[in-house]
Amino acid sequence: MRFQLDEEYDLTRAAVRDYADGELAGGALERDEQEQFDRSLFDSMAAMGLTGIPISEQWGGAGSDLLAYTIVLEEISRVCASAASILRAHTTATWTIGQYGSMLEEELMSLTTGARLGAFTFTGQDLRRKRVIHGSYILNGKISSVDQAGAADDYLILVKQANGRVSLSVVPKEITGLSVGTKMNKLGLRSVPTAELCFQSCHSQFINAVNKESEALSIRANGSLIVNAINDMQSIGLAAQATGIAQGALDRSIAYAKERTQFGRPIGRQQGVAFKLADMAANVEASRWLVYDAAWSMDKGLSSSGKAMMAKRFALKQAVATAIEAVQIFGGYGYMKEYHVERYLRDAKCLEASSDDELEYAAILSSLETE
């Protein structure tokens, strides 16, 4: 038996790779250096049909699946992890609304088609809410470290309440009382703006986070199932990004090892460097198939939390390790920005910082106990 992806996935990879090499790669270094968010890149992704990959065609999406989504994130991260982070946050917000929200069709479609840029954030009791009428609240407070704060058009706020129920609110940037606070100066993913999101007497309409098929869920199940599904979506996206970063670092290392000569021959023919490259390639491939398996399982409605966490945990660690080896292969040049590999290392570490070890171990152990 031969295992392989269907042709449609190969075509998706080829198209996105051409797009990434042609549109994203050239300015990645400058955007990172200047912490520059370039909205035109998101617009070009929308034109490519990449802003609604796992969303139903009914809502303006591509009607594809999470496996295709992981391939897209991987290929974009291979040249610019920041651009992939923007797409991941937007898709997570849009997917969550499509799965669990109740919005007007035109509002959801404006996100799915990329007419508006979405951002996703989770909050507990730190954001104060005062109910004024049914479903309508006044928000006060701050949410720290929101990716795309100041750049997004719509902010999806996921609120887990004390009774376990999950509420969703979509806050447009135009709303009175919404402002952007302190901006973060980050180690990696520097062209993704990250800042505080501040609310001062903002009127917001919460939308019930259960669709018609889920209304029979208990309050406790409503909260846990939705949060678990979003965590799986986030984990798969992070793992796909990490795999792309590792592949990008590996690609540059192989190219450099073929060009750089020492003692009259390419350094790639030296045993020490060749062994490094072989280990890097093996770990990238292992990360890739862990991610694909997790995405495929979630697409099929199978238990995916443990697989998603395993994929994320392995891929993030291997992305950092692969980027470190890339810097070593480049030697002194590895620390210079124009050779890009130090950027891969910084981006990998930034992704790794978003990992929740306690949550990962719990999900992995739970999946093992139920098998």
Residue that finishes a domain, picked among 70, 93, 112: 112
Tally of domains in the chain: 3
* Predicted pLDDT of residue 226: 78
The model's pLDDT over 160-204, given as tens digits with 9 standing for 90+, comes to: 666 666 778 889 999 999 999 999 999 999 999 999 999 999 988
Q: Is the pLDDT of residue 349 over 90?
A: yes
The CATH number of whichever domain residue 140 belongs to comes to 2.40.110.10
163 and 277 share a domain?
no
Of 112, 136, 164, the residue that ends a domain is 112
pLDDT, mean of residues 56-71: 93
Residues 136, 51 share a domain = no
pLDDT digits (tens, 9 = 90+) for 297-322: 999 998 888 999 999 999 999 999 99
Closest CA to 293 of 316, 315, 277: 315
Q: Which residues contact 347 (CB under 8 A, 6 or more apart)?
A: 81, 82, 188, 189, 245
Whether residue 351 sits in one domain with residue 225: yes
pLDDT digits (tens, 9 = 90+) for 213-271: 444 333 344 556 778 888 899 999 999 999 999 999 999 999 999 999 888 899 999 99
**Confidence (pLDDT) at 212:** 42
pLDDT of residue 40: 96
Domain assignment present for residue 2? The answer is: no
135 shares its domain with 224:
no
Q: Look at residue 30 and tell me whether its pLDDT is greater than 80.
A: yes
Least-confidence region, from 6-20, 68-82, 216-230: 216-230
| Residues 227 and 322 grouped into a single domain | yes
Are residues 238 and 350 located together in one domain of the fold? yes
Two tokens, residue 320: 């950092």
> Is residue 277 located within the same domain as residue 355?
yes
CA angle, residues 45, 46, 52, in degrees to nearest 5: 105
**CA atoms of 38 and 119, how far apart (whole Å):** 15
Q: Do 278 and 137 fall within a single domain?
A: no
Instruction: State whether 296 and 342 are in the same domain.
Output: yes
pTM, to two decimals: 0.91
> Which domain does 308 fall in, by range?
219-370
Is residue 1, in this structure, part of any structural domain at all? no
CATH number for position 96: 1.10.540.10
Q: What is the chain's mean pLDDT, rounded?
A: 87
Residues 6+ apart with CB under 8 A from 241: 73, 74, 77, 81, 84, 85, 88, 351
Residue type for position 296: W
Q: Would you say residue 333 lies in a domain?
A: yes
Same domain, 156 and 281: no
Q: Are residues 72 and 161 in the same domain?
A: no
Q: Of the candidates 172, 190, 214, which is a domain's last residue? A: 214
Same-domain check for residues 132 and 107: no
Contacts of 203 (CB under 8 A, 6+ apart): 132, 136, 137, 138, 139, 175, 176, 177
> What confidence tens digit (pLDDT) does each residue in 81-122 have?
999 999 999 999 999 888 887 665 677 899 999 999 999 988
Stretch 28-36: mean pLDDT: 96
Identify the top-confidence range among 223-227, 297-301, 324-328, 361-365: 324-328
Residue 197: what are its φ and ψ, rounded to 5°? -115, 120
Q: Which residues of the chain form beta strands (DSSP E)?
A: 118-123, 128-133, 136-147, 154-160, 166-172, 178-183, 194-208, 261-262, 265-266
CB distance 232 to 224 below 8 Å: no
